[in-house]
Every structure is written in C-alpha cells, then in structure tokens.
Structure 1
Amino acid sequence: MPLTIRDLQNYKHQGRIITALTAWDALSGAWVEASGCDVALVGDSLAMVSLGHATTLPISLEAMVHHTQAVGRSIQRPLLVADLPFLSYQCGAEQAVAAAGRFLKETPCQAVKLEGAEPETMAVINRLVRTGIPVMGHLGLTPQSVHCLGWGRQARSAPAQEQLRQKALDLQQQGCFALVLEHVPAVLASELRRELKIPVLGIGAGPDCDGQILVTADLLGLTPSQPPFAKPRLQGATMFKQALQDWCHEQRHQEQTTPPPTASNPPTPGC
C-alpha cells in the first residue's frame, strides 16, 4: 500500500526521519521505488536534469503531467508528489485548481508542491486545500524565483530569517501538510522543525529536520554541476560514460567471426 500524508505526519510525531527523492521518468521512478524512500517527488528540476534547460522555468504543465504519469508507472510505496510548474498557479486560484486537479485526475499523484508564501500564493493554497488537493509548501531557495533570488543560500540575516519563519507558520495555517526548506541556515531549519506541527523536509538546510529530500541525479553524480549541499554518493556520470565507451571500443575491435558481405552475397534484410 502507498504511504499517505497521515503516515508522514505520524512519522514526525514518532521522530522517524522521512526520506524523499526526485524522479523524472519510469526508470528513475523504479530507482526511487527500490530505494525504500517515503516520498517520490516529480520535481520541476526535471527541466534541468532531464530536458537540458538552464532553469526550471521552461517546463510546461503538459510536460509535468506527462512525466508524472511515467514516474507513476514505477511507484508503489512512496507518497507521489508533483511540482506545479511556473505560471500554473501564479495567475489566480481558478487556474491553479485546474492545473493541480490534472495531477490528481490524470496521474497517481496524491499531492502537489508549490513555491513561496506571498499573499497571492496563500490564497491559492487555501483554495486548493479547500478543494481537496493536498499541498506541500516550499521556502528558502525557490528555483522558480531564480532571477530574483539567485541560487545562493537564503535567509542569511536575522530579519530575513524571521520573515521566513512567519511564512512557514502561515503555510501551516493555510493547510500545507509538509514544508520543504531549501538552502537555508541549519539553525533556522532546526528551530522550525520544533515549532511547526507539519513535517519539515530539508535540502541543504542541515541535518536537524524531520526528513531530507534530494534530487536523485545529484545523489548519483549524474548532473554536470553539483549543488554545494548535495554530495554525490558515486561518480555516476563518469562511470556510465566509461561503460558506454568501453562497449563501443569492444565492438569496434572484436575479431569478426564471419566475413563481411560482398556484392555477390548481399546481407539478408533484418526485421
């Protein structure tokens, strides 16, 4: 049976660490399923990891639904969550409900994640939750705001930390069932873990969170550029490239067991 939102909330109360990984297709979904993690996130990071974009902004709603469907074919146990892409929820509650509803109607997804806590976003979250669509919040480094905030650590000053703290409380008040804190000071994340009743999942937010979430491709060393807070467990890109190069080299240099075809003895067409 797949995990539920209530399971994650119980894990927090039990002091059990929650693990979350991203997936972008059926193959990566199978890796995540095999890992035994608790949450599978189809993040809009797939725009960079899988589609080669420089930011997460270009990914469309159609593409996110398509990739979530693919991941869903491999996921059984983890809670499946999908990112709402840029401009699918920033243009009003009606459009946001329609976008988020597609994930619950057309994929096995059980919840959506969105970034920020501005007044307009709060109104959207309130509407989604009242509609019956579970929402995971996301504060700190929010990639959809990269042109305003950049890729660096967020909430460095005391006023900025207090502002983020209040936003986290507001997200909980609006009904978010969990919160991702990305690239913020560890002390702030630790304080929020204790203050909030909902699970706090950190990514580059120190070890003292209710759980940790990472981009699977970063963890496996498959991305060209590693975030400073995601140390790869293996050099996957180098290993894969070497294996493929070795195979090509072997094929080109193996001794041929049959003579090459001649004009009088043409090859038989394959299927």
Structure 2
Amino acid sequence: MSKPQNLSSSGRYLQPDWPAPASVKAFVTTRNGGVSEGSWRSLNLGLRSGDEAEKVIENRALLMHEWALNQIQWLKQVHGADLVQADRECAEAEADACWSDVSERACAVLTADCLPVLFCNRSGTRVAAAHAGWRGLVSGVLENTAAIFDDSPDTLMAWLGPAISQPCFEVGPEVRQAFLAHEPEAESAFVAGQGDRWFADIYTLARQRLKTLGIYDVYGGDYCTVRQEDLFFSYRRDGAKSGRMASVIWLAGTDG
C-alpha cells in the first residue's frame, strides 16, 4: 500500500483529511519517532502493552512536547461503550471514549487494529474520540459518543483513523450475528471465508452506525494497520507485544 498523503515529513503523524473548523486540531501517531525497542519500536504509547513503562512515558512526553499540549485525557480501555469528559486533572479513566469542550484539553484513544473515530461539530466547540473495536461497535460506543453533542447529527462530522482492513479481519459467526441482530444492513460488511469464518469490514460497519445516527459527513477509512507495517502497530500481526498508536483531538484558541 502507498504511503498516505497526509503523513508528516517526519513520518511520525497522520493528520485527518477533513473539513473540520480551524479550532479543531487532531493527529494520529504512527509507530515511528519514539524510544521503545524490540517489537514495540518505536513510538509505543500503550502502558499496558508489555513495554517498559519508562519508555512509554517518555514517548507520551515527546508527542505532548511536539504538539505543545499540556493535557491529554488517557483512557484505560476495556472494549466497552462508556465515555468520560476530559477533566481538569486528566487522570486516567476506565472508558472507551472521551470528549472535551475546553481548549487545549485533548482527548486520546489507543489502537492497534481497532478503529479510532474522531468527532467534532461544525461550530468547533466540542470534540470527542472513540475506541471502536467490534465489541465496542456492537455495544454502542459510537452512539454514546455522538450523544454528548448538543448539535443536530447532520452538523457533526467524523473521521475514521487507521484500523485493520477487511482482507485481514477474519472473525467467527458470532461476530457477524451480533451486528446483524442490530442492523440487517450489516450483512454487506461481511464476506464469507472458509468454513464458518467471515471477513469483516470495520470501516463499513462504523459508517453504517454513523449513517443511522444521521451523521453523513464521514471521512478517512483507507488504511490497514496489518499491511502497513512500516507505519502502524498491529495486534493481529504482532501479538501481545504489539505497541499502540494514539488518535488525539482537541480545541485550540477557545475557552470553555
């Protein structure tokens, strides 16, 4: 796969290609530009990935310095549908999504095949980030995240960050059935594999959920964390010693 055009010259970050308001800032880290070693090389941001905590903390400090951020709301993700508001202390919270309406108080989710989804409103006054693996999608993490906006759904936009692509995402019949039970249209996101296996398109599943909510301005969704090994960590490819990327979004130049 070719390198994305929105990759920074340093190779460290991707910036969403979407028409967000000027007050909305966002990026996704790649695996490059950090201090971690071995299978976590090099910008691993996951404290629970098996990497040395000191190196992960240094990696987090590197990205905060580069983007001049003083506060990032990190999460202890559990593949659920709960979300929290980024608070003044930004203490780690157990949730799979977070939101903010305060300038310079960033929201972040960690991924390594699961889908990161960034949200903002057209007025540029509120942002959110969601960690959407298949369990989170089924449980309603996108619906819960969209619900924190006071705006009409058709004035919201979403960006789908790097995730596993359909040819690499083999799942069992229980995964397909969980989606079909919620929305029969989900059938179009699955291609039959061998035996009872299926290949799931997590990007399509997310778009379907967003469309049902009335969110039509959806961007991104053209990466593969498994195949683009030079850019991304992948749990499915590398196993338990995979690092994690961060998808980060915040408001700049406003007070909340």
TM-score of the aligned structures, taking structure 1 as reference length: 0.34
Q: Which is bigger in relative contact order (C-alpha 8 A, separation at least 6)? A: 2
More strand by share: 2
More helix by share: 1
